[in-house]
A = this chain, B = another copy of it.
Amino acid sequence: MRQVTMGDVAKKCKLSVATVSRVYTDPEKVSPKNREKVYKAIQELNYQPNALARNLRKLQTNSILVIIPNIMNTFFSYILCAIQKVAFNSGYKVLLGDTDSSPEMEAKYLYYLQQKLVDGVILLYPRSNPEEIQKIAGEYPVVIVGQQAPESSIPFVINSNFLSSQTATEHMIKLGHRRIAHFSGRLSQPVSRERQKGFVFAMEANGLDVDKSLVCEGDFYFDSGHALALKLLSSAQPPSALVAASDEMAIGAIKAARKLGVRVPEDFAIIGFDDIKMASICEPALTTMAQPKEELARLSTEMLLSYIKGEPPHQNCVVLNDQLIIRESCGWALLNND
């Protein structure tokens, strides 16, 4: 069954394809009478314009690609969800590019731009090297979320990693902790280094020793937090508190503590990062630095869309502040309950 085309509609109402086309692109320009005729024919033939032809003609797809390390993490899926909402409301479709944290996948997806498969890309927490990214982002609309593009003019939106990590650490120090551990993500990622630096800075600024054996490299995922905590808690001199660079690792640590009979927060206070859904639900509820997910998503999408449309951007680089959310795992309530 051949597809219904504009030609068919035109023939049906004895008008030209140009007029039919105008009904879609600029209805004002066609007389009310003819407009009606066209609408009727469209209805009767159940016609829908072929997006492929339109895309080719206009050399654009009205869709964007979101490159994302792992949709299973609710932090990412939340952002993805928010991006899709903003994009949808602006008439843009969202292609999904889950990289499973692989730089190679990330690069493959970036090439969708060159193939004209999408009009722009939102790149969440990139893993591939800056040159690779710069090569594409220099020519096509790309906005990076969660990482500052060093020495390049790629627009980005990030949260205040250094500062927030510092805040989280100082929260623990204020609660009286001296031996504090830090679990970072892979240090190959700038985010991880930023958060680790914030931790070290806060410790030193408060005159505390940074025991190197307590500054551990994880990978942001649950399992790494679990394994690291098991090791530390069964060592000779276990820490009394943990600043984790992700909620997943923090929750992994909670589970590890429980397995060893270590009480959280009494014997081991924990603070996470991200505020994923599980953070408020797990037991004890996780104290964490909440990233402004909604804002991150909205701003990056708006920036990308105006970039695509060639509008002058209001802002190219945005740094958003995180928010400390005090729940149970840090032991704040133990001291402040009256």
B48, B81, B281: the one within 8 Å of A111 (CB): B48
Stretch of A7-15, A93-101, A236-244, A305-313 at the chain-chain interface = A93-101
Complex A-B: 11 CB contacts under 8 Å: A3-B59, A51-B116, A52-B61, A55-B56, A56-B56, A70-B81, A71-B81, A72-B277, A93-B112, A96-B96, A282-B283
Residue from A78, A80, A96, A116 whose CB has the most chain B CB atoms within 10 Å: A96
Least CB separation from A80: chain B residue: B71
A71-B77, A95-B95 known; A52-B283 Cβ under 8 A: no
B71, B96, B283: the one within 8 Å of A258 (CB): B283
Residues of chain B lying within 8 A (CB to CB) of residue A48: 111, 114-115
Residues of chain B lying within 8 A (CB to CB) of residue A78: 72
What sequence of 0s and 1s flags, for each residue 202-238 of chain A, a beta carbon within 8 Å of any chain B beta carbon? Answer: 0000000000000000000010000000000000000
What sequence of 0s and 1s flags, for each residue 36-72 of chain A, a beta carbon within 8 Å of any chain B beta carbon? Answer: 0000000000001111110110010101001000111
Q: Considering the chains assembled together, what is the distance between the CA atoms of A118 and B11 in angstroms?
A: 27
Residues of chain B lying within 8 A (CB to CB) of residue A123: none
Interface of A is mostly: mixed
Residues of chain B lying within 8 A (CB to CB) of residue A95: 63, 93-96
Contact present for A281 and B98 (CB under 8 Å): no
A251 within 8 Å of B (CB atoms): yes
A320 within 8 Å of B (CB atoms): no
Q: Considering the chains assembled together, what is the distance between the CA atoms of A71 and B77 in angstroms?
A: 6
Instruction: Please give the distance in Å from A109's CB to the nearest CB on chain B.
Output: 9
A117 within 8 Å of B (CB atoms): yes
Residues of chain B lying within 8 A (CB to CB) of residue A96: 66, 80, 84, 94-96
Residue from A59, A95, A114, A255 whose CB has the most chain B CB atoms within 10 Å: A114
Residues of chain B lying within 8 A (CB to CB) of residue A111: 48
Q: Considering the chains assembled together, what is the distance between the CA atoms of A95 and B64 in angstroms?
A: 10
Least CB separation from A222: chain B residue: B281
B50, B72, B283: the one within 8 Å of A116 (CB): B50
Q: Considering the chains assembled together, what is the distance between the CA atoms of A176 and B198 in angstroms?
A: 54
Instruction: Please give the distance in Å from A93's CB to the nearest CB on chain B.
Output: 6
Contact present for B93 and A117 (CB under 8 Å): yes
A278 within 8 Å of B (CB atoms): yes
Instruction: Please give the distance in Å from A207's CB to the nearest CB on chain B.
Output: 37
Residues of chain B lying within 8 A (CB to CB) of residue A21: none
Contact present for B84 and A77 (CB under 8 Å): no
Residue from A51, A53, A95, A222 whose CB has the most chain B CB atoms within 10 Å: A51
Q: Considering the chains assembled together, what is the distance between the CA atoms of A94 and B71 in angstroms?
A: 13
Residues of chain B lying within 8 A (CB to CB) of residue A258: 283
Instruction: Please give the distance in Å from A89's CB to the nearest CB on chain B.
Output: 12
